[in-house]
Structure 1
Amino acid sequence: MNKSHFFGLWREHCHGKFPSILNEPRNILSPVEAQKISAYLENCPIWVASPGLEKSKICPSEIAGTLSIKTDGKWAWQDTMAYYVRKLRISPPLEFVSHFNEKNGHWPSESEVDVLLLEFPDFE
């Protein structure tokens, strides 16, 4: 998978060269769009499982998700992305939003995504 098809990897959770969730523009999506996209992000299959829970970096009393990576077979994102889309109404990349709209918000089942064929990119 091309690393340009990864999003939602945040410096606050992953460290390194990733963008900060604190600098992401907020309220980009309408409340309805945010709910639909966050449901898609939450319900797609897990590609790389990671144990433990991650606290929200904007509201530390809440759980944002895990460090697991989810995928729809074309795009991949950290599990916390659904929380931030729902809570802050930040937008995934526009190319992903177009992909989401083409699929009419239908997320794939685990049997529809062959995660063994996906290659994890080198982020170095």
Structure 2
Amino acid sequence: MSQPESPSTAGTDAAGSLDQQGQQEMIQRIGRTLVQALPPGWEQARVQYRAVGSHRELEAELIAPNGTRIPLSPPGEVGELFANLRHGMYQRHRGTWLSATYQISRPSSYSVDFDGDHEPAWERQPPHTEYATELERYPRAGHNVPDWLAERAGMQPPESATTADQLRKAEVFDGTDAVGRPVTNRPELPPEEKNRVLEYLERAPVVLAARGYDSDRLSPSASSSVPMTFHTDGSWIWPGAVGYYLRTHDLTPQAELVDHIRARDFQLPHVDDGARELAVTAITEEQRT
């Protein structure tokens, strides 16, 4: 049975404060606490603890001799003990584990597996802010941060462009008709996605901006209100007009950009100075041609 754990900070001691003896004592205490809660006649039990940042999950089950798995509600103290163990096992530059599997068999044998490299099989997907919290609370050297954790924490993703010509450039419209009016043929975004796409588009760093505003090509009589800016997320470049027309006229950005934003789960990555400079180079080179 899986149950959420409270997001309280584990213990008051400094991260990494448990030595080998302290870790073993904590592991054995988890086992004793678990055994006291098991029903008569138990043979095997397994507990899985998953955590990132302040997000914590605890799942327990009995394993019958025929392999049948029976959900179990473990005492709340088990979750607190796991949280303290994870906190105490932090290693400088290496971080701490993200999931632990504790298996115990009658009468007293047990095994514990810790995993700090692979993403846990979450019961509930943690908010992306928790991945950044994880790296703030338990810092790792860059080479010890798995790609999936770096991406979810908003660090520069590995698929970002490395040269200016690798950056993809979004168009505001699909083209123009014979008299110069903009042409688009794009389905509207689902209502639940519109604000998430807008937030991604408008929060991305502005790498170039001109003074003033451009006219609204879908409302020629309106005052000039279209931002003359360019944004990037390290993989794509788009004019500020893309967000404007989505917000004002429900004009969906081009499909490839929307698919890219969805693939990132609507989470904007960190865009470093090098990625911003590449974007400026790509924009200025395009404007010269």
| TM-score normalised per structure 2 | 0.35
Identify if the C-alpha distance between structure 1 residues 81 and 113 changes in structure 2 by more than 3 Å, giving closer, same or farther.
farther
* Unpaired runs of at least 5, structure 2: 1-163
Matching of residue 7 in structure 1 with residue 163 in structure 2:
no
Hey, what does 1:37 align to over in structure 2?
197
Shift of 1:27: 4.9
Which protein shows a greater Rg? 2
Question: Could you say which residue in structure 1 is the equivalent of 2:121?
Answer: none
Structure 1 unmatched runs, 5+:
11-17
Aligned partners of 2:166, 2:175: CA distance in 1, in Å?
14
**CA drift at 1:105:** 1.0
Contact 2:229 2:239 in 1 (8 A): yes
The structure with the greater share of residues assigned to strand is: 2
Q: Distance in 2 between matches of 1:74 and 1:100?
A: 10
- TM superposition shift of 1:40: 1.1
- The correspondence for 2:245, drawn from 62, 84, 95, is 84
Give the fraction of aligned pairs with identical amino acids, expressed as a percent: 21
Shift of 1:37: 1.1
Partner deviation per Cα, 1:86-116 (whole Å, 9 max, x = no partner): 2333332322222211221112355477312
User: Per-residue CA shift, 1:41-85, capped at 9, x if unaligned?
Assistant: 111001112111123222343554322111111111111110111
- Give the structure 2 partner of residue 56 of structure 1: 216
Q: CA deviation at 1:7?
A: 1.4
Aligned partner of 1:22 in structure 2 is 182
Q: Quick one: structure 1 residues 122 and 26, their matched pair in 2 at CA, closer, same or farther if it must change by over 3 Å?
A: closer
From the superposition, tell whether residues 4 and 72 of structure 1 become closer, same or farther in structure 2 (CA, over 3 Å): closer
In 1, are the aligned partners of 2:172 and 2:254 still within 8 Å (CA)? no
Deviation at 1:32, TM superposition (A): 2.8
**Does the 8 Å contact 1:56/1:63 carry over to 2?**
yes
Q: Helix, strand or coil for the counterpart of 1:68?
A: strand
Superposition pairs for residues 104-119 of structure 1, below 5 Å?
Answer: 104-109=265-270, 111=272, 114-118=275-279, 119=281
Q: Is the 8 A contact 2:172 2:253 kept in 1?
A: no
Residue 211 of structure 2 aligns to a residue whose secondary structure is coil
Is 1:103 equivalent to 2:225 in the alignment?
no
Aligned length: 117
Amino acid at match of 1:37: V
Q: Is the 8 A contact 2:171 2:254 kept in 1?
A: no
* Distance of 1:117 and 1:4 partners within structure 2: 8
Using the alignment, how far apart are the partners of 1:51 and 1:3 within structure 2?
A: 28
Distance 1:66 1:85 in 2: 13
TM-score, structure 1 length as denominator? Answer: 0.72
Range moving further from structure 2, 67-76 or 33-42: 33-42
For 1:57 and 1:106, how far apart are their aligned partners in 2? 30
> Is the alpha carbon distance of 1:94 and 1:78 closer, same or farther for their aligned partners in structure 2, counting shifts above 3 Å?
same
Instruction: List, as ranges, runs of 4+ consecutive aligned residues in structure 1 with deviation greater than 6 Å.
Output: none
